[in-house]
Amino acid sequence: MTQSLAGKVAFVAGASRGIGATVAKSLAEAGAAVAVAARSEQRGKLPGTISSVADDIVATGGRAIPVPCDVTSEESVNAAVAATVAEFGGIDILVANAGVLWLGPVESTPLKRWQLCLDVNLTGVFLATKAVIPHVRERGGGSLIAVTTTGVNMIDQGANAYWVSKAAAERLYLGLAADLRADNIAVNCLSPSRVVLTEGWQAGGGGFEIPPEMVEPPEAMGTAAVWLAGQDASGITGTIQRSEELAT
C-alpha cells in the first residue's frame, strides 16, 4: 500500500521515540514535511530527542524540524503549531501520538498517575487537535489521526488509567469526524493490532510478558499512518483502524 504525501505538512506529537518517531519518518518518506514535536529536547531516561529524529529525516533527504511541545500545556501546543506554520506554511496532517503508560489496577493507582494519563492521553489530544484544526481547514481539508490502543476493547482484562484515557480519546475523535466532515477533514483513530515494544512500553509496561506472536513491528504503524494521512472527508473518516489490518 503506497501513498504520496508530497506537498503536505504533518505535525506529529510525541515523535521523539517509539511509534511517533516511526510515523514521523514514514510520513517524511512519503513526501510530507514533518514537524517532530515532543518535550524531549535533551536525552533523558529514555533514548530519542526531537532533534535526533528530525536529523535522521533530513539525512535521508526529507524535510523536518524539531518543535518543542508539551501537549499538556495549551501555550506550548499553540507555540509549536505556530512554529510549524511559520516554517512550512500550513498544516495538512496531525498525528496525536503523545502518550504515557500506566497499566496498574485501579485500586493501586495513585491519583497523580490517573491524572497524568488523562492530561497527556486525552487533554493532549484535545489541545493539539484544537490548535491545528483552523490550519487544516485553511488548506481545504486534511487528516487528523489519534493514536490509541486495542486495550480499549479488552474489558475482560479489567480497567486501568491508560485504557480509560485512550477510550475517551476515541470517543472524542469519532464525534469530531461528524463535526469536521463539512470542512473535508478526515478524523480517525489508529492503534497497533498487537503490541509495539517501544521504549515507553519497556519502561512502563508493568512487567507484562508479551509472547513473541503478540509483538508487532513499529513499521506497520508507519505504513498505516501514511495511508490515513492521505485521506480527507471523501475517504476514510470516523473510524478506529488497526495497523496491520489497514497496512495489508
Instruction: Supply the residues annotated as catalytic.
Output: 162
Is-contact 37 72, C-beta < 8 A? no
Residue 113 has which C-alpha cell?
498517575
The residue type of 141 is G
Contacts of 192 (CB under 8 A, 6+ apart): 19, 149, 150, 216, 220, 221, 242, 243, 244
Residues with Cβ within 8 Å of 7's Cβ and at least 6 positions away in sequence, in order, are 31
HSE-CB of 210 using CA atoms within 13 angstroms: 14
